[in-house]
Structure 1
Amino acid sequence: MNTVRAVTVTPGVPNSLRLDEDWPEPPTDEGAILVQALAVGICGTDQEIIAGEYGQAPPGQERLVLGHEALGRVLEDPTGTLQPGDLVAGIVRHPDPVPCPNCAVGEWDMCRNGRYTEHGIKGLPGFARDRWRVQPRFAVGLDPMLAPVGMLLEPTSVVAKAWDHIERIGSRAVWQPQNVLVTGAGPIGLLAALLGIQRGLSVHVLDRNKTGPKPELVRALGATYHTTTVAELDFAPDVVVECTGAPVVVIDAMCKAGPNGVVCLTGVSSGGRTIDFDAGALNRDLVLENNVVFGSVNANRRHWDLAAQALARADQAWLDSLITRRVPVSSYADAYASTGEDIKVVLDFEL
């Protein structure tokens, strides 16, 4: 029987990461489209699963294959949806089996009962294996020129959803946003800034790093880089995309938004910390200025398609510069070990 290499963990067991050299070939019930893995992006979610903080193996299995930022090349597709050789990414979240009202209409990113599943995270094997399968409706074809950077599609889908909802909320009235504040210059923040630039907005990115690649990456986009606090900024943004999850930054971002401002929270806070702030003053500002604060996570098919279009329009050299390390599968442990200086690390199946 053929086998593949797979990076796996035992969910809930800290530091159980390993490379299985004889993982079973993906069964056809995972999907009709067979894909050769090219690369998998690594993010904080992977680190948290490795630390044993969460994660759920597929039913009846002890171990979970990691990897949700996928890029592969189609080996076979009997459905004719894609052609052999096409670049493809697999949508991470699948709808719950009931389904809830949102999952029933393809809005599984807005699942109401929490019974959704996610590749490499919750109940579905991930993409960090030599070959994987995907159902046609969860397969997103990519422009061939995105071969070096297509694993960025998943994080781009997250910010594509964020911008989709920002614009839906903004359309409640005559809305002519001029400037955007993005807090955090990690992959999500930089990609959120990219989509703001593509919308013709004046984009400001705030991050605490004064050195390293982040300031230049922001400037190369045509955006402005700040290392002050949010409160010290000399403008009131029409849109805020908060990507840090840092409680002080979250509160300051909500306080800083201008009239009719929209604040999108994409960063997940760890909890367990308290902050002394004037909740009454924040409430007053939100009400009197008609501001909206909302949270956004994950993405549905529409957002994945929007993300693919955004990446295809972007400067490919700039996208490539987001990837600070490409690590072969044989050195998988190095890929998942955070240096604190990386922007995006990629596990490369072709090295």
Structure 2
Amino acid sequence: MRAAEVVPGEPAASRVVDREVGPVDGELLVEGLLAGVCGTDVEIVRDGFGRLPPGRGHIVPFHESLGRVIGSPTPDFAPGDLVAGVVRRPDPEPCPACAVDAWDFCRNGKYTERGIKELDGYGAQRWTVPPKFAVKLDPTLGDAGVLTEPTSVVAKAWAQVSAVAARSHLPVRSALITGAGPIGLLAALLGVQRGLEVHVVDRVTDGRKPDLVTTLGATYHPDLAGVAAEVDVAIECTGVPSLVWECARRASVTVVAGISGEHTPVPLDPGVFDGMVLGNKTVFGTVNAGLPDYLAAATALSEASRPWLNGLITRRVPLARFTDALEKEPDDVKVVVDLA
């Protein structure tokens, strides 16, 4: 079988190699179908983010997965089942969060992650995964099952929003999503599924993104001018500092789901903080997801329109040229690597 391999921070070292992957006791043996590509993968290859497996010079990339079970040690999974693999593994100590399988809240940073930190990812034609870290998908999802991991991230965000709203007696009726990339669009999907009035802001004025938002039943805006001054929830998916503060100004609950990578100070109106204090507002960050979020993501995808989900996958790159998937093209939403 074939697999991608990369060296963090050394793009020229990227390659496709032959690897033998056979059954592992207690784990599912999976035929890799697709691997989704996101900004983290680009940061690993180009900027040196991530960490190699101990004693290894390369790591198999990609943490967004879709595969089909070949062999299973448990009746919970059967050959032919469509599955996605969980990314993070709990730390070995474990910390208070990892001790209760809330590894996405790991407190000591000793977790590992498939395709990112010390563990090979899912960019291979075969991979194995413990049943505990596999999610069975609706077989009718087909290729859209590769959206499970990014959907789990926003499922976690919405779960946290619900918890904050409940304890602060906030009726959630409207949502602002900034950024119409995969995370933003999937956040909008879950907002629409909750029956909310959803507004999505992105700077592009035509093409796939406005159409995807409109088809979903949400409202698309090329800027914030057309969005109400107050909304119940904002999910900020761009990492642009000015948008983070604008969301905090407008929303009772703001989720920061994007990372800018920029460290230049940004002028801030102190009134934003006054509004947060006087309005009992909440701003929190989120990353990764736990198993309940993956299960919620699988349910959300199973209930979504198949044509709409398939419309998010805008480019397929063969495994032999997987580095092409790291180059962004103007109309990209979700790019996938075809492992077959």
- TM-score range for the pair, normalised by the shorter chain length: over 0.9
1:57 CA drift (Å): 1.4
Question: Is contact 1:15-1:52 (8 Å) kept?
Answer: no
Structure 2 letter corresponding to 1:324: T
| Partner of residue 240 from structure 1, selected from 204, 226, 234 | 234
| Partner of residue 195 from structure 2, selected from 186, 191, 200 | 200
Partners of 2:22 and 2:316 lie apart in 1 by 25
Structure 1 letter corresponding to 2:233: V
Instruction: Calculate the TM-score normalised by the size of structure 2.
Output: 0.97
* Other-structure match for 1:254: 248
Instruction: Calculate the TM-score normalised by the size of structure 1.
Output: 0.94
Correspondence 1:24 to 2:14: no
Q: Give secondary structure in 2 for the equivalent of 1:204.
A: strand
1:11-46 deviation line (CA, Å, top 9, x unaligned):
2334432212x12325626x5110001101111111
* Other-structure match for 2:123: 128
**Structure 2 stretches lacking a partner, 5+ long:** none
Structure 2 letter corresponding to 1:344: K
1:224 CA drift (Å): 0.3
Partners of 1:201 and 1:164 lie apart in 2 by 15
Q: Give secondary structure in 2 for the equivalent of 1:148.
A: helix
Correspondence 1:275 to 2:271: no
Question: Is contact 1:39-1:70 (8 Å) kept?
Answer: yes
Partners of 1:135 and 1:69 lie apart in 2 by 16
Partners of 1:276 and 1:176 lie apart in 2 by 32
Partners of 2:228 and 2:189 lie apart in 1 by 22
| Partner of residue 217 from structure 1, selected from 208, 212, 216 | 212
Question: Is contact 1:185-1:206 (8 Å) kept?
Answer: yes
| Partner of residue 64 from structure 2, selected from 64, 69, 72 | 69
Q: Give secondary structure in 2 for the equivalent of 1:341.
A: coil
Correspondence 1:322 to 2:324: no
Structure 1 letter corresponding to 2:5: T
Higher mean C-alpha deviation, range 205-214 or range 44-53:
44-53
Q: Give secondary structure in 1 for the equivalent of 2:231.
A: coil
TM alignment of 1:135-154, pairs within 5 A: 135-154=130-149
Correspondence 1:312 to 2:302: yes
Superposition misfits of 4+ residues, deviation over 4 angstroms: none
Question: Is contact 2:199-2:227 (8 Å) kept?
Answer: no
1:126 CA drift (Å): 0.4
Question: Is contact 1:56-1:121 (8 Å) kept?
Answer: yes
Q: Give secondary structure in 2 for the equivalent of 1:147.
A: helix
**Structure 1 stretches lacking a partner, 5+ long:** none
Correspondence 1:107 to 2:98: no
| Partner of residue 285 from structure 2, selected from 295, 305, 308 | 295
Structure 2 letter corresponding to 1:315: S
* Other-structure match for 2:158: 163
Partners of 2:337 and 2:41 lie apart in 1 by 12
Partners of 2:59 and 2:205 lie apart in 1 by 38
Question: Is contact 1:231-1:252 (8 Å) kept?
Answer: no
| Partner of residue 5 from structure 1, selected from 2, 10, 23 | 2
1:113 CA drift (Å): 0.3
Q: Give secondary structure in 2 for the equivalent of 1:181.
A: strand
Structure 2 letter corresponding to 1:301: L
Partners of 1:77 and 1:180 lie apart in 2 by 41
Question: Is contact 1:231-1:256 (8 Å) kept?
Answer: no
Partners of 1:14 and 1:255 lie apart in 2 by 40
* Other-structure match for 1:339: 329
1:232 CA drift (Å): 6.0
1:142 CA drift (Å): 0.4
* Other-structure match for 1:183: 178
1:98-138 deviation line (CA, Å, top 9, x unaligned):
11000000100000000000000001100000100000100
Structure 2 letter corresponding to 1:302: P
Higher mean C-alpha deviation, range 300-309 or range 8-17:
8-17
1:132-178 deviation line (CA, Å, top 9, x unaligned):
00001001000100112100000000000000000000001322121
Q: Using a 3 Å threshold, how does the CA distance of structure 1 residues 331 and 13 change in structure 2: closer, same or farther?
A: closer
Structure 2 letter corresponding to 1:28: V
Partners of 2:278 and 2:101 lie apart in 1 by 36
